[in-house]
């Protein structure tokens, strides 16, 4: 079969035509996306200028200041866990959010897949709509219901369950809930599409062989969902770990995540190399997770053969 099915012109060589078609998009991404990353990499090894920007002096100060604080007077380095805590909190919050999304999404995706065709489509549209709604607005909406004088607390207090408003907002709990709320559709949809063509006769066979529901679920349903599980976890974990809006709007002072720390370095704190170094760490972390999952998915494929 010929590889060239959709061509524009016979007069120019196919290779040249492809280059002309592909070139602009690739060039735009290389110039405006890849080059900026390279600049960031260089900046992370430079010295901070006092009012933002950099001075062209090579130093690893930006990286070492993640772990150590330089004393103003005697220039000695002392270990400081502050930034490590922010980093650990980001991984932890994103991890919890991913696991909880999974717990909510697996039954939901399964349930949708077992609906009749018509209902299935309605469910899918309903799950998709929030994904299209502006993230800032969804985060504001969540803050609106979680506030001290918001509807949840109002109901709880009217029913006399609590006498004081519960501290639902401006803490780690709210941030985690915000991450789940932001990225839940990213988990449901891949799980559903992995499970969509499931052959229910496999379940029948399992029950015929005296499998309990538990065993049928863990040994038949979950393995079939696995590709969606991997894709969904990726789609939730990666935006969660670098999330800016959820910790910014729903969190308080002690719930800073790495995304906010990076943002601050380029806004009020004006320490570009430090921000660049943090960005490089976040980028590396993200790409490592991607690579690891891609390799796992690859292994899975070869196992099947």
Question: Considering beta carbons, is residue 142 or 176 the nearer one to other proteins?
Answer: 142
Among 57, 77, 129, 155, binds other proteins (CB under 8 A): 129
Beta-strand relationship, 77-79 and 54-55: unpaired
Question: Considering beta carbons, is residue 18 or 69 the nearer one to other proteins?
Answer: 18
CB atoms within 10 A of CB 195: 22
239 contacts other proteins (rule: CB under 8 A): yes
Among 107, 167, 223, 298, binds other proteins (CB under 8 A): 107
Give min distance, CB of 69 to other proteins, in A. 23
Give min distance, CB of 85 to other proteins, in A. 18
Give min distance, CB of 300 to other proteins, in A. 19
Give min distance, CB of 303 to other proteins, in A. 22
Among 46, 48, 86, 112, binds other proteins (CB under 8 A): 112
Give min distance, CB of 104 to other proteins, in A. 5
304 contacts other proteins (rule: CB under 8 A): no
Phi, psi of 27 (to 5 degrees): -60, -45
Q: CA angle, 194 as apex, 182 and 114 as ends, to 5°?
A: 90
Q: CA angle, 251 as apex, 250 and 256 as ends, to 5°?
A: 140
229 contacts other proteins (rule: CB under 8 A): no
49 contacts other proteins (rule: CB under 8 A): no
- Residue pair 76/219 in contact (Cβ under 8 Å)? The answer is no
Write down the residue that tokens 């993640």 correspond to: 66
From residue 62 to residue 101, the character string flagging contacts with other proteins as x (rule: CB under 8 A) and all else as - is ----------------------------------------
The closest alpha carbon to 238, from 172, 301, 295, 291, belongs to 291
Question: Considering beta carbons, is residue 68 or 266 the nearer one to other proteins?
Answer: 266
Question: Considering beta carbons, is residue 64 or 218 the nearer one to other proteins?
Answer: 218
Question: Considering beta carbons, is residue 61 or 278 the nearer one to other proteins?
Answer: 278
Give min distance, CB of 160 to other proteins, in A. 18
User: Which part of the chain contacts other proteins (CB under 8 A), choosing from 34-42, 55-63, 65-73, 155-163?
Assistant: 34-42
Q: How far apart are CA 125 and CA 296, in angstroms?
A: 31
CB atoms within 10 A of CB 110: 18
- What is the helix (H) or strand (E) element at residue 115, kind and residue range? none
Site for other proteins, residues 150 to 209, rule: CB under 8 A: 150-151, 154, 181, 184-185, 188, 200-201, 203-205, 207-208
Number of residues that bind other proteins (CB under 8 A): 101
B/e letters for 135-145, b = 16+ CB within 10 Å, e = fewer, are: beebbeebbee
Q: How far apart are CA 33 and CA 28, in angstroms?
A: 8
Q: Could you tell me the CA-to-CA distances from 47 to 40, 184, 303 in Å, in that order?
A: 13, 40, 49
């Amino acid at each position: 079969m010929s590889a060239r099915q959709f061509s524009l012109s016979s007069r120019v060589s196919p290779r040249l035509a492809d280059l002309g078609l592909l070139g602009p998009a690739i060039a735009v991404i290389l110039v405006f996306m890849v080059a900026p990353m390279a600049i960031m990499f260089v900046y992370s090894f430079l010295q901070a200028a006092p009012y933002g920007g950099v001075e062209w002096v090579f130093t690893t100060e930006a990286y070492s200041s993640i772990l150590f604080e330089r004393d103003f007077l005697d220039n000695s380095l002392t270990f400081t866990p502050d930034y490590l805590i922010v980093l650990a909190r980001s991984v932890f919050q994103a991890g919890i959010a991913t696991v909880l999304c999974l717990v909510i999404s697996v039954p939901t995706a399964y349930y949708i897949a077992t609906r009749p065709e018509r209902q299935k489509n309605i469910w899918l549209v309903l799950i998709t709509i929030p994904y299209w709604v502006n993230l800032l607005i969804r985060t504001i909406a969540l803050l609106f219901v979680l506030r001290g004088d918001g509807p949840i607390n109002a109901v709880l207090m009217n029913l006399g369950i609590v006498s004081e408003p519960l501290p639902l907002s401006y803490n780690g709990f709210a941030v985690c809930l915000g991450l789940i709320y932001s990225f839940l559709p990213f988990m449901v949809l891949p799980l559903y599409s992995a499970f969509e063509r499931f052959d229910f006769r496999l379940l029948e066979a399992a029950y015929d062989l005296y499998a309990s529901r538990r065993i049928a679920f863990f040994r038949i349903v979950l393995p079939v969902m696995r590709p969606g599980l991997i894709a969904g976890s990726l789609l939730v974990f990666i935006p969660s770990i670098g999330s800016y809006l959820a910790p910014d709007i729903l969190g308080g002072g002690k719930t800073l995540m790495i995304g906010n720390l990076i943002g601050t370095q380029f806004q009020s704190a004006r320490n570009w190399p430090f921000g660049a170094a943090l960005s490089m760490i976040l980028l590396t972390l993200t790409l490592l997770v991607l690579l690891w999952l891609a390799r796992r998915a690859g292994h899975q494929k070869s196992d099947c053969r």
